[in-house]
Structure 1
Amino acid sequence: MMEKTASQPPERIVQVGTAYQFKDYSVQLNQLLDLYGDVISCTSIGSSVLGKPLWCLKIGRGPRKVHVNAAVHANEWITAPLLLRFIEAFAAGCKQRGAQENESSLECRRWFDNTTLIAVPMVNPDGVDLSQGGIDPACSWAEELLKWNGNHSDFSKWKANARGIDLNDQFPAYWEEEQSRRGITEPAPQDYGGTAPLTEPEAIALAELTSREQFDYVLSLHTQGREIYWNYREYEPEIAEQLALRLAKVSGYRAVKLGGSDAGYKDWFIYRFGRPGFTIEVGEGVNPLPVSDFDEMYGQIYAIIASIMDS
């Protein structure tokens, strides 16, 4: 199989500065819709704890449904612009005609005809803002958030949502075992799964979208480790490992058979639907990963999503 390479439009809308908060995401999303509104559709699937819309983007008209989500964990916010840039490249390729037409644009139009990509680039907008900007003085949870963060004003290690609940420990796939393993019984920067599965509006919205759309494949983008997790308690289909090895080949990541982990979105998808689901651990280093790594990580993510689009 030929290795996928990201197309290079002359001017990209999706850019990352020293930070990438919900306001940056919203501005760029609106710019994409202004330019590619005939290709990309956008709806809200719900609201965050603090009332921010959870935007869901759809591109393509094919019968195969691929879902990708990102920024589930707050300080892994860089995955949101990585996913949004892929959507921009996909939309741009669909629009290229005549002298601009090339192999990449033909590929994008093939995807558009054969596959529907349904993406939620920022699952945890409250946490994304908190991890980069600290507590908003107007936030109704300000006192509690400071307490849950050990009375530290630096939230750069925060992964949870605005109620101190880790959204990737919120799904009904052996949830009780994950909570027992974690041993965390109250809101915290990470690893607290709440009092029950699917109590948080962000997790509920993602689960409802997934049940409604009946995806064929899902990818959940996280950081870091350059690894691809493809299994869950032997509930995964036989093709899952083969697909993971293919994704690893095109990206340079490692396909890892993971144990001792439950209640994540990918876990629940495999457990509930028995279809291929993958957690992609993008990049290497310490979260939050540096913006200077963005272009390199984007090339890897482009290759992974492109390969799934061709599955």
Structure 2
Amino acid sequence: MFERIMALAGSIPPVERFAGVDELLAQAGQIARQYPELTRWHRIGSSKLGEPLWSLTISGGPRRILVVAAVHPNEPVGGLTSIRLARTLTENDALREELGCTWHIIPCIDPDGTRLNEGWFTPPLTLGSYGRSFYRPAPGEQVEWSFPFAYKENFFDRVMPETIALMRVIDETKPALLCSLHNGEYGGVYYYLSDTTDALNEQLAAIPVRLGLPLHTGEPEAAFIEQIAPAIFRGFTAEQECDFMEELGLDAGRRKAGTSSGAYAARYGTRYLAAEVPYWASPDADDHTPLAMSYPELLAERGERFEETARTLTGLLESVRPDLSVRSPYLRASEAFIPFLWDAAESSRTLAGRQDNDRPAVVAERFHAIGSVLSGRVRFGGMLLNVLGGELAIGNGTPAIRAAHQRLSEVFEGWIAEDPQQRQEIPLAKLVGVQLGAILATTVALAGGRADA
């Protein structure tokens, strides 16, 4: 079976660009019309701005698989993957019948946020075009992290309409497997799993390698996340994040978000897969050559860079705060994320002081350290530029806003010019192939189906 999955993953037709919301919905609706005996295209809810939310059900057996794209609206690879998965299942009767699953595919759970990112969907994709049109909701406004949550002093119940729609689908389907489709900026491929096996770990690692992509084998996204195998991480919880913040001396009460879709679905015994793929590849992501600098030195340097970034963006935001007239999504996100840069700086300094980290750093760790700072600069600097640009666009060009916009524009271009890392844009068909292969391999391993080759 795995070789058949690899054949499907390696035969994705060329994809020229990311698909916007209208295109995704049109393609999914077309599949439903083409296969009415197999599918059902139905509305599951409404977005915050009143846009219909849709799901495509493909009949195939008693086990239920739920696949969700755009849980973070700045991550559009999953939308492409959801359409390719739907076409694969409807066109391949033998595969669908052998898997024995009914599929519930949501090609875009956050259309409002996705539309705000569509400015960078048209190639060529550069760091500048990406950052200047980037939008990621504040944590409490993300579908993936706005499920109800109560732990110690943390309580969250401001559940969004999109999240309510996804909760309803989870409650109704009680899926055997929930596949949440994600992607990042650069580096290598990695996965989050609630459950796994040695064989599945090997298969998931093999998929990108056989497609010519590197694995991410450096640091996890946060120090508390468990690494199960190279590029395979245990799905983490909001409770773990709160405990880690407390351990570092940070105020966990500042975490204004809920729990994840995987944590919510776990009440039904649902397994969880998150497939993380990058836009740009670098061999440094999987290079464990020791460096001349120590790991604590690397962490301390990362902390200094995070603090410099936090100081710059905080100062610019505070300089215009009295003049701001619109509480746009970009402003809410900026107010939520810029403080995270201060936390990241403090976290890096604390980890640098631990005795168990006293060892040489490796290339993959340096790549992650530089990349995490650059990601914060491009993402959060770009959103603050949109805060200021939005005020100028409605005629609120006060001296403070004009000055901050000019200054941030210069700083932003400087940050991009400083990027020392070599990167290569990855053909979108390969990214879709990785996610498609991961979904099918995990379905066979964890949700039923034959695992023979």
TM-score by structure 1 length?
0.69
Task: State the AA in 2 paired with 1:248.
Answer: L
Of 54, 72, 95, 1:107 maps to 95
CA distance 1:274–1:107, change in 2 (3 Å): closer
The answer (yes or no) to whether the contact 1:169–1:175 under 8 Å persists in 2 is: no
Match of 1:229?
192
Render the CA deviation track for 1:149-202: whole Å, top value 9, x for unaligned: xxxxx76331228x981222201355777xx6xxxxxxxxxxxxxx83352010
CA distance 1:172–1:155, change in 2 (3 Å): farther
TM-score by structure 2 length?
0.49
SS at match of 2:92: helix
* Superposed displacement of residue 299, structure 1: 1.6
CA distance 1:44–1:219, change in 2 (3 Å): same
Q: Give the alignment of 1:31-110 within 5 angstroms.
A: 31-94=30-93, 106-110=94-98
Of 144, 147, 154, 1:168 maps to 144
CA distance 1:6–1:83, change in 2 (3 Å): farther
Match of 1:281?
276
Distance, in Å, in 2 between the alignment partners of 1:119 and 1:62 is 15
Task: State the AA in 1 paired with 2:135.
Answer: W
* Superposed displacement of residue 275, structure 1: 3.0
The answer (yes or no) to whether the contact 2:70–2:109 under 8 Å persists in 1 is: yes
CA distance 1:126–1:73, change in 2 (3 Å): same
Distance, in Å, in 1 between the alignment partners of 2:271 and 2:140 is 30
Of 210, 214, 223, 2:170 maps to 210
Show structure 2 runs of 5+ residues with no match: 121-130, 209-214, 216-230, 242-257, 281-374, 380-422, 449-453
Distance, in Å, in 2 between the alignment partners of 1:243 and 1:174 is 36
The answer (yes or no) to whether the contact 2:47–2:162 under 8 Å persists in 1 is: yes
Task: State the AA in 1 paired with 2:166.
Answer: L
CA distance 1:305–1:38, change in 2 (3 Å): same
* Superposed displacement of residue 220, structure 1: 0.6
Match of 1:220?
180
Match of 1:149?
none
SS at match of 2:79: helix
Aligned-CA RMSD value: 3.4
The answer (yes or no) to whether the contact 2:65–2:104 under 8 Å persists in 1 is: yes
CA distance 1:121–1:198, change in 2 (3 Å): farther
The answer to which structure has the higher helix fraction is 2
Of 428, 432, 443, 1:298 maps to 432
Distance, in Å, in 1 between the alignment partners of 2:33 and 2:269 is 38
1:256 lines up with 2:255 in the alignment: no
SS at match of 1:117: strand
Q: Provide the aligned length of Structure 1 versus Structure 2.
A: 252
Distance, in Å, in 1 between the alignment partners of 2:441 and 2:235 is 22
Render the CA deviation track for 1:193-216: whole Å, top value 9, x for unaligned: xx8335201001101110111111
Distance, in Å, in 2 between the alignment partners of 1:290 and 1:275 is 36
Show structure 1 runs of 5+ residues with no match: 95-105, 135-153, 181-194, 232-238
SS at match of 2:65: strand
1:2 lines up with 2:136 in the alignment: no
